[in-house]
Structure 1
Amino acid sequence: MRIITTRRETQAIILAILAILAAILVIVFFTKSSPNSQEHKSAGGEWLEITTPMSLIHIGSNDSFAITEEGNRAAKLVYDAVAHKNLDSAKAASELYTQLIPKENYGGEYSTLQWFCDYFLASESQKKEFLKDKYVSSFFEFFSANDFTNLKDYLTLKYHLNKLEEQFTQADQERKALLEDTILFNNPRREEWEKTSKMMTFFPIKAGDKIADVGSGPGYFTFKFAEIVGDKGRVFAIDTVEKHLDYVNHVSQKYGIKNVETVLTQGDTLGVGENQIDVAFLCSLYHNIYGMDKEDDRHRFIDNIKKSLKKDGTLIIVDNAVVERGKLPYHGPYIAKQLIIGQLKYYGFRFVKDFASVPQRYVLIFKKM
């Protein structure tokens, strides 16, 4: 049978076909650009798949995960062990921390306090083993001086053992922060939860390099870097807290470490010259920069990092990933790494690669563009 169509019918058919093709193109476009499109995610990385109800960044306060009923009970036992040489309290505290660490351990603090308890319980020969590392020995000397004044003060201030926090002076708050940073940074058992040695094998650092340890605190990584870069290299320990840098200087002088230089800053500059640095290193710092800094302050800070780096300089960022609670013996501030990668792209850094020593702890490597 022969079908005869008019011009108007032909036009209608053509329009219908075009409409169908347009609909197909729209479906393909939105499928390709959807955040659920694996191709789009892997190619550009603009989409961040959300797999948890947790926030992508958490800053919190220093006390967010440490001031609990059981944490208080353990701290009181540690204080009794220190102040009254009570080994029963040391044993009870150590056993309690074994239970608490998988649930509440904030930044490794509990494992530090447990280390002190285990030291008190050790034999004389075992105590020598505890202190065989010179940096651990310096850490112990800092907290044990004058009958453990610094350790007792920390427990008193952190856990409000003799007065409420609102009764603390500004000097009390600053002293607590100083002691807490030292507890968290130079924890003798940091290696156990962070796998620091494994993590550092990923750092592109070599002999002769000049490194800016930005936010160095009491120098946990500063001295590790100093051993790697050797006599021809240099490590700048950069911090806003003068007493942290006093600690670094004391340890450097004590052990004759000559390739470490301390730099006190106001927080928005590095205090080193332009094009001087091979590697800039930030550990557990960027979540604060991303979540708390004003835009102008952040831009000035990152711009100063760029200026200090040499032409092909490297930026290393270590921070904490979004991990469901209860999976690891670390609870504290964190930030999804994709937020950092995305932001630094617009500040002129090219993302190179990443690595995780433990699921919660990641390393990001960038190159200055």
Structure 2
Amino acid sequence: MAGSNFVDYVKIFARSGHGGAGSAHFRREKFVAFGGPDGGDGGRGGSIVLQGDSQYWTLIHLKYQRHQFAEDGEGGSGARSSGKDARDIVIPVPLGTVAKRVVENEQGETELVPVGEVTADGERLVLLKGGRGGLGNWHFKSATNQAPRYAQPGEEGDEGAFVLELKVLADVGLVGFPNAGKSTLLSVVSAAKPKIANYAFTTLEPNLGIVECRDGKSFVMADIPGIIEGAHEGRGLGLRFLRHIERNSVLLFMVPADADDIRREYEILLGELTQYNPELLDKQRLLAVTKSDMLDEQLIAEMRTHLPEGIPALFISSVTGYNIPQLKDLLWEALHK
């Protein structure tokens, strides 16, 4: 991954601003012998806020800005003048960003506590709220205390470490072993230009493409880097990219026609996803048998009897275009079930 611009995991340290102190000022003017309290309120401290931005697709800008500190609010002053609120620190993030706070439990171990996620353009997620400004002394004036000589201090801000993870947002996710033909399919059905070569782990980062169907309809397809057996334990590219599959509505499993056992490969892929997150079993699944251009109808009919049961399957070839239109229709129907 050296030199890659795709960053989907970053840890930052953030601190929100303190609220400004309220003022304990008294009115002092010529010809006003006993001016009452007129201390203004303090300003609010700056907050740390994540904001979804559809123009971003990676967290690389935070890789070099790991410290985010907001300013403190201004103190209040006389004539009931309130201090100025501090500016919030608004951090643009790509859609699909999940924020987790790093905390220490009773055993002294570090845990990640979910804070929220940003999935829409312009959506805001407050990581740390700025401290409230203190009240000036004029708030505390009463019939029995007409000259309060005290005001509230500003509320302290908050600080903490956060982990930001990006989970790619796509309608259809391509799931398969390295060299299953995922990148080739994406390059054929969309304008995406992923790297394609005849060796394992050609794809080192997710690629997105917009697939156009009939009648001007379209959906987003994601080419997820290849999975290997033991990926849920961190083998190969491991957990690095399994989380991207969580965001996809439909999973298209891809197994090449020249595989030793198509059913076995599908079961291994499904097992890796299940052990990573059992909820992935709830997603719609389809199977595409790739590189089928060398098969005749008789061989395809015979191979169908050995395919996994309970999952719609289609034999395709990205090189010749065999059954590619039918695959698009099948995916569109699955998305709208």
* TM-score, normalisation: structure 1: 0.23
* TM-score, normalisation: structure 2: 0.25
Structure with greater strand percent: 2
Structure with greater helix percent: 1
